[in-house]
Structure 1
Amino acid sequence: MGSKKSSENLKKDDRTRNWTFIVYPDSAPENWEQILINQAVPWFCSPLHDSDLNADDSEKKPHWHCALCFENKKNYEQILEIISPLNCTIPQKVKSMKSMLRYFIHADNPEKHQYEKSDIRCFGGAEYESFFLPTRTDKMSFYGEIIDWIEENDIIEFCDLVTYARMNEPDWASMLYTNSTIFFNSYITSRRNKRTANDI
C-alpha cells in the first residue's frame, strides 16, 4: 500500500495562464507591439497612463499596462523570455483578468485618473467586452437612471429611448440590447396608455 504524499512534499505549480507587466515609452523599442504580436497570443494593452500620480502628487512616468492570455499555463521564465526584449518590468501573475482590465482604466478607483474603456487595445483575438458586463448593483443603478430620464423627458416611445442610449449611453444600450427590452418597453407603453386614459 503506497503512502500518501504530504502537502509539504507536493511540488507547487507556479504557472498560470495570464500574466501582466508594464511598458514604458521611453525605454521600450519602437516595435515593441510587433514583438508581442509575433507571439501569436491574445493580449491586452491599457490606454497610455500619462496622468497617474504618486503618493506625493508627483507625476508617474507614462506607461502602458499589458496582459498576456495563454491557453496553457506558463511559468515565470517562459514569460520573461517573451517580454525581455521590451525592456519592461518583470512579469506578475494575474489572479483575475476582470480586475486587471478594470484597473487598466481605474474603473474601481475613482480617486485616480479615469481612462476610457474604448482606449483598451486588443490583439490576437482578445476581447474585453465580457469583462465589463455590469454587476447586479450596476444594473439597478442603470435602471434608476433610465427611469429618471424617461420621466424627465416625457418619453412615450421605446424607440426614442433606444436612439438616445445608442448615441449617448453605451451602458444603457447594452442592457436594452440584451435583457431589459421587455421591462422598459412595457414601462413606456404603460406611461403612454395612462396618458391616453387621462385624456379621455
Structure 2
Amino acid sequence: MPKITKARFWTGVLYPENMREDWEIAIGDVVQYPYAYCKHTRDKDSKSEHRKDHVHLLLAFPNTTTYQHALSVFGLLSAEGKKAINKVEACVSVRNVYDYLIHDTETCKKQGKELYDPSERITGNNFDIGAYEQLGTAEKNEMFLELGETIRDHGFTNYMDFYAFVVDNFDNMNYIEVLRSYSSHFERLTRGNHHKWEQGCLKKRPSQAQLHENSTDNSTDNSTNTTDNSTETPPLCCPECGSISVIKSGKTLAKSQRWACKDCGKRFVNM
C-alpha cells in the first residue's frame, strides 16, 4: 500500500532527553493543536529488560495536512540543538491510535505490552476523541472532491474499476465511507466518462474494413492478449486517443473484459 502523505491526525514517538525541559508545561502553547500523549516509562523488551523511556504523542489538526508540516510541529518540542523525533505516521484510525497511547488495543494485549492507566493519558487544547471519530464536513468535502478528481484524471468509465482503484490505493477508511455515502454520484461520473468516450468514438468511427483488420490483428497478438476463448466484441476505438488498435488486457474484479490501446497504452472497459 502507498504511504499516506496527507492526513488530519498524526502520531509519533519522542524521547525526553532530546525534548525541551518544560515540554509538559508548555506543550499546549508550543504545538497549538489538540493533543494527547502518554509517557512510556515501564515498557519492557522481549527479554523483559527496561526499554528506553519515550512519549507517544497524537496531534489533531483542523484539516488534512502534509507529512512535512506535521513533522515540523512535533519537532517544536525538541530541545535547542537536538532532535526529539525522527518521523511521524498518519492515523488510519484515530481511535486505535488513541487507545495505543496506553497500550489498550487488542494487539498490545496479545503481545503482553505494559498497560497504562487511562489517567496517564494526558490531553489538552480541547482534544475530543468522540468528535474526531465523526468525519468532519470539511474533511468529507475534501475527500469527496479528491475522489471525483480521481475519476476525471484516470478516465474511469466503469464504477467497479473505480471502486477497485480506491480500495487498492487509499489506506484511509474514511474514503470508503465517503464512497459509500455518495456511490450514486460517483457512478454518474463514471457513466459520464463513458458517454464522452462514446461521443468521441462516434466521431472517429472506423470503417468495416478497418474493424475487420483490427479484429485480425487482435487474434494473432498473443503477447498481451488473454488466453481464454471469450467472444467479447472489441470496442470501436480507444477512449483516450481514438485508435482502433486495441487488444484484450485481462479482466476487472467484476469479471468484465479490460482492453488496452496498442498506440497510447490506455486501459479501459468496454461498456
TM-score, length of structure 2 as denominator length: 0.40
Q: 1:17 aligns with which of 8, 33, 36?
A: 8
Unaligned runs of 5+ in 1: 1-11, 133-200
Q: How does 1:22-101 map to 2 (within 5 A)?
A: 22-33=13-24, 34-46=26-38, 48-85=39-76, 86=78, 87-89=83-85, 90-101=87-98
Q: Confirm whether residue 112 of structure 1 aligns to residue 104 of structure 2.
A: no
For 1:17 and 1:79, locate their aligned partners in 2 and report how far apart those are by CA, in whole Å: 9
For 1:75 and 1:40, locate their aligned partners in 2 and report how far apart those are by CA, in whole Å: 17
Change (3 A) 1:56 1:68: same
What's the offset of the Cα at 1:18?
Answer: 0.6
Structural RMSD (CA): 2.5
What's the offset of the Cα at 1:79?
Answer: 1.4
What's the offset of the Cα at 1:72?
Answer: 0.7
What's the offset of the Cα at 1:127?
Answer: 2.9
SS in 2 for 1:21: strand
SS in 1 for 2:31: coil
| Counterpart amino acid of residue 113 in structure 2 | K
| Counterpart amino acid of residue 29 in structure 2 | I
For 1:131 and 1:101, locate their aligned partners in 2 and report how far apart those are by CA, in whole Å: 11
**Are the aligned partners of 1:25 and 1:62 in contact in 2 as well (CA < 8 Å)?**
yes
Q: Per residue, is there more strand in 1 or in 2? A: 2
For 2:48 and 2:21, locate their aligned partners in 1 and report how far apart those are by CA, in whole Å: 30
Change (3 A) 1:66 1:121: same
| Counterpart amino acid of residue 14 in structure 1 | T
Unaligned runs of 5+ in 2: 134-271
**Are the aligned partners of 1:43 and 1:69 in contact in 2 as well (CA < 8 Å)?**
yes
What does the per-residue CA deviation read over 1:125-173, in whole Å, with 9 as the maximum and x for residues that have no partner?
00346799xxxxxxxxxxxxxxxxxxxxxxxxxxxxxxxxxxxxxxxxx
**Are the aligned partners of 2:40 and 2:55 in contact in 1 as well (CA < 8 Å)?**
yes
Identity of aligned residues (%): 23
What's the offset of the Cα at 1:74?
Answer: 0.8
Moved over 2 A (4+): 35-40, 55-58, 127-132
SS in 2 for 1:38: helix
TM-score, length of structure 1 as denominator length: 0.53
SS in 1 for 2:92: coil
What's the offset of the Cα at 1:71?
Answer: 1.4
SS in 1 for 2:75: helix
SS in 2 for 1:121: strand
Kindly tell me the number of residue pairs found equivalent between the two proteins: 120
Q: Work out which of the two has the higher radius of gyration on C-alpha atoms and give 1 or 2.
A: 2
For 1:128 and 1:72, locate their aligned partners in 2 and report how far apart those are by CA, in whole Å: 15
**Are the aligned partners of 1:20 and 1:91 in contact in 2 as well (CA < 8 Å)?**
yes
More RCO (CA 8 Å, sep 6+) = 1
What's the offset of the Cα at 1:35?
Answer: 4.8
**Are the aligned partners of 1:76 and 1:91 in contact in 2 as well (CA < 8 Å)?**
yes
